[in-house]
Amino acid sequence: MKALVSPLGTEIQSLFPDDSGFVADDLYTRRTYSKDLMPRSHILAREGELPEPTIDAVVWPQDSNMLAKFIRAANEKGWELYPYGAGSGVCGGAVPGQNQERKRPRVVVDLKRLDKIEFVDTHSQIAKVQAGIIGQVLEEDLNAKGYTLGHFPSSIYCSSFGGYLATRAAGQLSTYYGKMEDMVLAVEGVLPNGESFTTPVAPRLAVGPDWNHLFLGSEGTLAFLTAAWVKIHKLAEARRFLSFQVESTEKALDGVRQWLQAGLHPAVVRIYDEDESRMLMGLKSGVKLVCVIEGEQTLTDFTALRINQMSMNYTGWNDTGEEPAQHWWSHRYDVSYRQQLIMSHRRMILDTFEVATSWAGLPGLHKEIKAITDEVAKKFPGKGEMLVLLAHFSHFYHCGGNIYFTLCGRTPEDTPTVEFYDGVWDLLLKACERQGAAISHHHGIGRLKAQAHKRQRGVLHDLLKKFKNELDPKHLLNPENLGL
Ligand X SMILES: Cc1cc2nc3c(=O)[nH]c(=O)nc-3n(C[C@H](O)[C@H](O)[C@H](O)COP(=O)(O)OP(=O)(O)OC[C@H]3O[C@@H](n4cnc5c(N)ncnc54)[C@H](O)[C@@H]3O)c2cc1C
Instruction: Please tell me the distance from the alpha carbon of residue 480 to that of residue 169, in angstroms, as a whole number.
Output: 21
CB of 378 vs ligand X, minimal distance in Å: 31
CB of 2 vs ligand X, minimal distance in Å: 22
3-state class (DSSP) for residue 84: strand
Q: Which is closer to ligand X, CB of 32 or CB of 336?
A: 336
Instruction: Please tell me the distance from the alpha carbon of residue 287 to that of residue 245, in angstroms, as a whole number.
Output: 6
Q: Which is closer to ligand X, CB of 79 or CB of 317?
A: 79
Instruction: Please tell me the distance from the alpha carbon of residue 192 to that of residue 93, in angstroms, as a whole number.
Output: 17
Q: How far apart are the first and last CA of the chain?
A: 34
CB of 141 vs ligand X, minimal distance in Å: 17
209: cis peptide before it, omega within 30°?
Answer: yes
Q: Which residue is nearest to ligand X (CB)?
A: 163
Instruction: Please tell me the distance from the alpha carbon of residue 304 to that of residue 293, in angstroms, as a whole number.
Output: 7
CB of 26 vs ligand X, minimal distance in Å: 20
Give pairs for 16-19: CB < 8 Å, separation 24+. Answer: 16/59, 16/61, 16/62, 16/66, 16/70, 19/62
| Interface residues toward ligand X, by CB under 6 A | 36-37, 82-90, 93-94, 111, 131, 153-155, 159-160, 162-164, 166-167, 169-170, 219-220, 224-225, 336, 442-444, 478, 481
**Crossing angle of helices 450-457/459-471, nearest 10°?**
110
Q: Which is closer to ligand X, CB of 24 or CB of 246?
A: 24
Q: Which is closer to ligand X, CB of 96 or CB of 412?
A: 96
**224-231 vs 126-130, strand pairing mode:** antiparallel
CB of 166 vs ligand X, minimal distance in Å: 3
CB of 244 vs ligand X, minimal distance in Å: 23
Q: Which is closer to ligand X, CB of 86 or CB of 242?
A: 86
Q: Which is closer to ligand X, CB of 167 or CB of 277?
A: 167
CB of 95 vs ligand X, minimal distance in Å: 8
CB of 381 vs ligand X, minimal distance in Å: 32
**Phi, then psi, of 147 in degrees rounded to 5:** -125, 165
262 to 265, 279, 293, 307, 356: CA distances (angstroms): 9, 33, 15, 10, 21
**Crossing angle of helices 372-379/362-370, nearest 10°?**
20
Q: Which is closer to ligand X, CB of 164 or CB of 244?
A: 164
Residue 31 sits at the vertex; the CA angle it makes with 478 and 36, to the nearest 5 degrees, is 50
What region, left, alpha or beta, does residue 472 occupy, with left being phi > 0 and alpha being psi -120 to 50 degrees? beta
Instruction: Please tell me the distance from the alpha carbon of residue 53 to that of residue 152, in angstroms, as a whole number.
Output: 32
- CA atoms 250, 445, 192, 68: torsion sign: positive
CB of 217 vs ligand X, minimal distance in Å: 9
Q: Which is closer to ligand X, CB of 314 or CB of 333?
A: 333
CB of 27 vs ligand X, minimal distance in Å: 21
Q: Which is closer to ligand X, CB of 85 or CB of 255?
A: 85
Q: Which is closer to ligand X, CB of 107 or CB of 131?
A: 131
Neighbours of 152 (CB within 10 A): 21
The amino acid occupying position 274 is E
Q: Which is closer to ligand X, CB of 98 or CB of 159?
A: 159
Instruction: Please tell me the distance from the alpha carbon of residue 453 to that of residue 433, in angstroms, as a whole number.
Output: 9
Instruction: Please tell me the distance from the alpha carbon of residue 138 to that of residue 160, in angstroms, as a whole number.
Output: 9
CB of 259 vs ligand X, minimal distance in Å: 22
Residue 30, classified by CB atoms within 10 Å of its CB into exposed (0-12), middle (13-18) or buried (19+), is buried
Residue 470, classified by CB atoms within 10 Å of its CB into exposed (0-12), middle (13-18) or buried (19+), is exposed
Q: Which is closer to ligand X, CB of 9 or CB of 61?
A: 61
CB of 183 vs ligand X, minimal distance in Å: 12
